[in-house]
């Protein structure tokens, strides 16, 4: 742990040197999202406002730790996290400034912090990716508990505990079901030889498409990315949203979100960026390019996503049975979730 913090401090110093000459026409963004998923929005923002964005990408948790280390004089103006648990964790630590206005409040309340410290900008749900050459859709699992059936032994792939979306999903299960029941289910998956092959959902979708596994647990948009694969032989996949029947718990819907870092040096530019992220222009990009769920009610979900859900639209979220979890609970659950995953060796 000491080595990790030394590395963070060293990288922070290097980064501060890089941006030390920042001017009023710049904005420093720390993004836990991979660059291909956020770059189209940043490019459009730069074009619309003439503001140069200095982008640093990495793991949400590591970037969050850097922000905490640098307070009260941060190098970042904006923090973007791939899931709300990381945002809530930093909110609890007092790392964000409150920012509210009518544009931010157009995003439904359940997808933003109650105190105005962060706002969700795009949504995703958990799902099951299946290889249709190995498993018939009708015979595929329909619930999380179905994955414990011995007939799926060794045939399921998943990411390990270093993946932040996986951690958020487990946190959601803990809140919805309780820690004991969640641990029972995860131990059952391990007993059924679930293969924790990677930290990346991209690796999961490709492994399932190649037929190395019958199915894999993913975020929903990885299915659509796989259907666009340049190799047509790797498109024999389908998507199943688990626990969608009457009385079942549904899938976790989580958000990627953004916040203004407390003490931001380019605060006015940060406000413009926050407003832009929740604009129709940016929301359409998230929906069209990334196959994510737009959170602004006036923007329709990508037609390909709606079709895969057999949803008449315009909102995929309205067609889903959603797990009853408040996103602002995920941050407080984080430490307990990591302890659980360590205990059962989800590596």
Q: What are the pLDDT digits (tens) for 11-64?
A: 454 445 444 445 679 999 999 999 999 999 999 999 999 999 999 999 999 999
Rounded to whole angstroms, the Cα distance separating 120 from 254 reads: 9
Q: What CA–CA distance (Å, rounded) separates 63 from 56?
A: 9
The model's pLDDT over 88-130, given as tens digits with 9 standing for 90+, comes to 999 999 999 999 999 999 999 999 999 999 999 999 999 999 9
Write down the mean pLDDT value for the chain: 93
Residue 1: pLDDT over 60: no
What is the residue-wise DSSP string for 46-81?
A: HHHH--EEEEEE--HHHHHHHHHHHTTS-S-SEEEE
pLDDT at 23: 60
CATH topology of domain 2-122+255-300: D-Maltodextrin-Binding Protein; domain 2 (3.40.190)
Rounded mean pLDDT, 68-75? 97
The confidence band for 66, taking pLDDT boundaries of 50, 70 and 90, is very high
pLDDT of residue 313: 77
Q: How many CB atoms lie within 10 A of CB 321?
A: 16
Q: How far apart are CA 183 and CA 185, in angstroms?
A: 5
Q: 259-284, pLDDT tens digit by residue?
A: 999 999 999 999 999 999 999 999 99
Q: pTM for this one?
A: 0.90
- Residues of CATH 3.40.190.10 domain(s) within the chain? 2-122+255-300, 124-252+330-343
Across 152-174, average pLDDT: 97
For the structural domain made of 124-252+330-343, what CATH number should be given? 3.40.190.10
């Amino acid at each position: 742990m000491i080595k990790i913090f030394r590395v963070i401090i060293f990288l922070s110093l290097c980064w501060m040197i890089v941006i030390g000459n920042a001017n009023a026409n710049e904005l420093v963004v720390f993004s836990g999202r991979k660059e291909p998923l956020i770059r189209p929005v940043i490019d459009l923002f730069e074009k619309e406002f003439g503001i140069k964005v200095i982008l640093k990408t990495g793991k949400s948790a590591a970037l969050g730790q850097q922000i905490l280390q640098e307070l009260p004089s941060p190098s970042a103006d904006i923090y973007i996290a791939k899931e709300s648990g990381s945002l809530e964790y930093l909110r609890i630590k007092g790392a964000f400034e409150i920012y509210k206005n009518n544009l931010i409040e157009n995003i439904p309340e359940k997808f933003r912090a109650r105190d105005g410290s962060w706002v969700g900008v795009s949504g995703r749900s958990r799902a099951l990716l299946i290889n249709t050459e190995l498993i018939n859709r009708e015979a595929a699992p329909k619930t999380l508990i179905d994955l414990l059936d011995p007939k799926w032994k060794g045939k399921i792939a998943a990411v390990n505990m270093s993946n932040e979306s996986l951690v958020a999903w487990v946190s959601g299960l803990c809140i919805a079901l309780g820690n004991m029941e969640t641990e029972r289910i995860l131990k059952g998956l391990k007993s059924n030889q679930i293969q924790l092959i990677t930290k990346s959902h991209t690796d999961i979708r490709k492994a399932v498409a190649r037929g190395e596994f019958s199915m894999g647990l993913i975020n929903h948009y990885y299915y659509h990315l796989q259907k666009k694969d340049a190799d047509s032989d790797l498109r024999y996949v389908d998507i199943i949203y688990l626990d969608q029947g009457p009385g079942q718990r549904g899938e976790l819907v989580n958000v990627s979100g953004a916040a203004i870092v407390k003490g931001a040096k380019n605060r006015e530019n940060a406000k413009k960026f926050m407003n832009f992220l929740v604009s129709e222009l940016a929301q359409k990009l998230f929906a069209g390019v990334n196959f994510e769920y737009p959170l602004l009610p006036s923007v329709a979900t990508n037609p390909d996503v709606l079709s895969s859900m057999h949803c008449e639209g315009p909102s995929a979220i309205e067609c889903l049975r959603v797990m009853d979890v408040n996103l602002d609970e995920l941050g407080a659950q984080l430490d307990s979730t990591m302890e659980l995953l360590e205990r059962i060796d989800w590596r």
